Amino acid sequence: MDITLAILKIAMHGAKKTQIVYGANLNSTIANRYLDYMEQKQLIKQNENIFITTDKGRTYREMASELEIH
């Protein structure tokens, strides 16, 4: 869950995959798994090579923050 929240934070205003990999301290393979999963769950969307947190992703992040899950 920490990785998911980190990715949502990094992608809040748009981020390239490289920024997400370094910002969340992941390797490319693991990042791909998380990004694919999060796209399926509509938490992020990809616009060309930029990942952006969706409204659903923002809500998820806010709820986790309120519950102090981090």
Amino acid at 70: H
Options 3.40.50.10860, 3.40.50.1980, 1.20.1050.10, 1.10.10.10; CATH of 2-65: 1.10.10.10
Q: What distance, in Å, lies between the first and last C-alpha atoms of the chain?
A: 7
The H-or-E segment that residue 15 falls in is: strand 15-16
- The whole-model pTM stands at 0.90
Given phi > 0 = left and psi -120 to 50 = alpha, else beta, which region is 25? left
Map out the domains of the chain as residue ranges: 2-65
pLDDT in tens, 5-18: 999 999 999 999 99
Average pLDDT per run of 10 along the chain, which is 70 residues long?
Answer: 93 96 96 97 96 97 80
